[in-house]
Amino acid sequence: MSSSDAPRWPDPSNGPATPAPPRFGPHGTPVPPPFDSPPPAFGSATPTLAQVVRALDGLYPPSTAEAWDAVGLVAGYPHAAVRKVLFAVDPVAAVVDQALDWGADLLVTHHPLFLRGVSSVAATTFKGSVVHRLVTGRCALHVAHTNADAAPRGVADALADLVGITDRRPLEVRAATLTDGSDPDHGTARGIGRVGRLAEPTTLAGFALRVAEALPATAQGIRYSGDPDAIVTTAAVLGGSGDGYFDAVRAAAADVYVTSDLRHHPASELRERAQFEDGAGLSGTPFLVDTAHYASEWPWLDYAVEDLVAALAADGLTVDARVSNMVTDPWTGHIPSV
């Protein structure tokens, strides 16, 4: 790094920005300024990473994430300029390549890179390699996971909008609190999943087809359980793995439940319970519609781009944000039973 490449700060006299003295480590490696240094002087409309993270935390408060979750900034220098932001579902190598090729300064993913603690991020591991490539490519990484699931215009709302659910409410409410102690929702319900009324009643088979047409195509496609000709008027949705919320769906009296990663035993037991308690055979509710995990969460990305751009614009800041078109569903093929 030459002195002309060194970070620049505003001059106290309000004159042109002047280069900060370069700092080097013991092997001649440039050392970034300390976190408490004044931020660099970029164009007046260019936010720092810290400002973008603040906007993201306002949209998706970390306090609403599940206790087991790992959300927030994973890698990145708070005073770095952020001009380009790429949103994706998964922080996989192909998405990192796409972000770096585009020149993104920040990659925001729904799924965490590190959901459990690690003792090393050496580039000799596939996750460590991702971190090193992002850092050397000057691209930060931020995660909005279950806090984005719970948010207004988050994962659940995006899925509910696509399948036509109106007059909806959360399956389970989560109270949001910002770092200053304020309520970002001003009393509006925020929480995991959504349940409400369908804009128009339809058959279970017709509803499953609507879901298939609304979501990105995947090798799995859409599976459903129940009487295909049964009429459904209410629905619940939860993007991602949702078989842990069967009791909430049952209590909400939803006719059909759209979620992902449904396992044999929980799904079988829910349907058996519904048929037994309702005394209605295959027409016992809720019916189930099972989607690919990636597909149920991808629709949120468009909302996230729109809302981040709007939140920054309210502060006079501008970024170029876009959604990754990379399909990160791990399944690549499907052969129907014969």
User: What are the pLDDT digits (tens) for 230-257?
Assistant: 999 999 999 999 999 999 999 999 999 9
Beta strand pairing call for 191-203 and 140-143: unpaired
Distance separating alpha carbons of residues 134 and 119, to the nearest angstrom: 19
Distance separating alpha carbons of residues 22 and 207, to the nearest angstrom: 62
Per-chain mean pLDDT for the chain = 86
Q: What is the DSSP string of 263-307?
A: -HHHHHHHHHHHHHHHT-GGG-S-EEEEE-HHHHHTTHHHHHHHH
Quick one: pLDDT band at residue 119, thresholds 50, 70, 90?
confident
Distance separating alpha carbons of residues 96 and 107, to the nearest angstrom: 8
Q: How many residues does the chain have?
A: 338
C-alpha torsion sign, points 93, 99, 103, 106: negative
Domains of the chain, start order = 3-144+301-323 (3.40.1390.30), 149-295 (3.40.1390.30)
Q: How far apart, in Å, are the Cα atoms of 166 and each of 131, 226, 251?
A: 41, 23, 18
For 81, which DSSP code?
Answer: B
Residue reference for tokens 């459990």: 116
Q: What is the distance of C-alpha 108 from the center of its chain?
A: 8
**For the whole model, what pTM was predicted?**
0.83
Cα angle, residue 325 at apex, residues 107 and 71 outer, rounded to 5°: 30
User: What are the pLDDT digits (tens) for 141-167?
Assistant: 999 999 999 999 999 999 999 999 999
User: What are the pLDDT digits (tens) for 269-296?
Assistant: 999 998 888 776 667 899 999 999 999 9
Instruction: Name the least confident of 12-16, 135-139, 243-247, 263-267.
Output: 12-16
Distance separating alpha carbons of residues 237 and 170, to the nearest angstrom: 9
Write the burial class of residue 136 (CB in 10 Å: 0-12 exposed, 13-18 middle, 19+ buried).
exposed
Decide which of 65 and 175 is more confident: 65
**Position 87 pLDDT exceeds 90:** yes
Residue 49: both structure tokens together: 């990473």
Quick one: pLDDT band at residue 116, thresholds 50, 70, 90?
confident
Q: What share of the chain is helix, strand, coil (3-state, %, to 5)?
A: 30, 20, 45
**Position 41 pLDDT exceeds 80:** no
Task: Give the three-class secondary structure for 255.
Answer: coil
Quick one: pLDDT band at residue 176, thresholds 50, 70, 90?
low
Average pLDDT of the residues in 124-131: 91
For 260, which DSSP code?
Answer: E
Task: Assess contact for 46 and 40: CB atoms under 8 A.
Answer: no
